[in-house]
Structure 1
Amino acid sequence: MDTILLLLGLICVIAGVFGSFMPVLPGPSISWIGLLLLYLTTAIPNNYWVLGITLLVTIVITILDYVIPAKGTKKFGGSSYGVWGTNIGLIVGFFIPIPFGFVVGAFLGAFVGELIYDKQDKKRALKAATGSFLGFLASSFVKFVVCIIFLGVFVVVVWQNSGSLFD
């Protein structure tokens, strides 16, 4: 059972890293579940401090994930259409077979969203799309760093307890 929990935990932590760039997957939450699965094994002693602190970080990052893109959009004069456009464009761009399709899709989605909001002012739409895109990049970067840290915690805990895990 420990091996299954260990593998599921590793899969969750790695999926969280990929999910840090996709709005469909809550990257830090999935990574935290991976840590939880690791600590549910009988070979790893429970460390409630690690689980509690990482849960708190996950909650804060999840809240910031909604705040940062909105602030970026508002700072550059955008609307919620730009934020929604960024998320939709990101998903569409992820499936388009071009290099960095999710980045291009996110920017174009924000631009189209802002054009839907105000068809007349293309310059404002471009500025707002830039703000929405920068907010998305900042939010994704923070989530990515947190997920990489969670992956590091996972690896270190497994490494430190490898004697009892693989007996």
Structure 2
Amino acid sequence: MLEIIIYILLALVSLAGLVLVVINLPGIWLIYISTIILAVMDKFENLTPLILVILFLLCLLSTLSDNIAAALGAKKMGGSGWGIAGAIIGGLIGMLVGGIAGMFLGPLFGATIFEIIFAHKNATQGVKAGLGTFIGIIFSIIFRFSLSVAIIIFAISRVL
């Protein structure tokens, strides 16, 4: 009976992790922790330490994907290092001040403002770089969500 309760709790924690990923927070780590607990319950028979290391590396890649995707998006749309720095700072400020909406809009506004002020670009070029950053972040969220779902399905299929 206790085992069933733990499985239900792990499922709920994993679902919470998926929600966090959608709102651009590191929910994949909740999913990873759930996977570790599942591996311990399974005595590492089906989720071996090697598999857990590989999943850890995938989670790390997922965490880094936001910055990588934002940078690539900004670069693709003509942004500079200033736009990338603005996106990172804007994302942090947006998260603190604007909650969920701020996490999405902060990088866009940050990249735009930094491109205009520090890279001396006109408003159109600044907005274009900001949009590239925003699009990169959206792609990153899609990547992280897909990876999170894949980890959940993989872990469940290995143990059950």
C-alpha deviations, 1:83-129, integer Å up to 9, x for none?
Answer: 432455467263xxxxxxx4x972x4334323432257221221011
Verify the 8 A CA contact 2:20 2:26 in the aligned structure 1: yes
Structure 2: tracts of 5 or more residues without a match: none
Note the C-alpha offset of 1:34: 1.0
C-alpha deviations, 1:57-108, integer Å up to 9, x for none?
Answer: 11222233322212222332133113432455467263xxxxxxx4x972x4
What's 1:128 paired with? 129
Q: How many residues align?
A: 149
Residues of 2 paired with 1:27 and 1:143: CA distance?
A: 9
Q: CA RMSD in A?
A: 2.9
Question: Quick one: which amino acid aligns to residue 137 of structure 1?
Answer: I
What's 1:12 paired with? 13
Question: Quick one: which amino acid aligns to residue 116 of structure 1?
Answer: I
Secondary structure of 2:23's aligned partner? coil
Note the C-alpha offset of 1:39: 1.5
Matched ranges for 1:23-34 at <5 A: 23=24, 25-34=25-34
C-alpha deviations, 1:11-54, integer Å up to 9, x for none?
Answer: 3321221122334x312222111111112225774521432322
Matched ranges for 1:87-102 at <5 A: 88-89=93-94, 92=98, 94=100, 102=101
State which of 77, 80, 87 in structure 2 corresponds to 1:82. 87
Give the helix-richer structure, 1 or 2. 2
Verify the 8 A CA contact 1:12 1:34 in the aligned structure 2: yes
What's 2:110 paired with? 113
Residues of 1 paired with 2:110 and 2:4: CA distance?
A: 46
Residues of 1 paired with 2:44 and 2:8: CA distance?
A: 14
Residues of 1 paired with 2:52 and 2:154: CA distance?
A: 11
Question: Quick one: which amino acid aligns to residue 76 of structure 2?
Answer: K
| Percent identical residues | 25
Verify the 8 A CA contact 2:10 2:34 in the aligned structure 1: yes
Residues of 2 paired with 1:111 and 1:121: CA distance?
A: 15
Question: Quick one: which amino acid aligns to residue 128 of structure 1?
Answer: A
Instruction: After superposing the two structures, state which structure 1 stretch, 72-81 or 137-146, moved more.
Output: 72-81
Residues of 2 paired with 1:149 and 1:33: CA distance?
A: 15
Verify the 8 A CA contact 1:39 1:47 in the aligned structure 2: yes
Large movers: runs of 4+ above 4 Å: 86-91
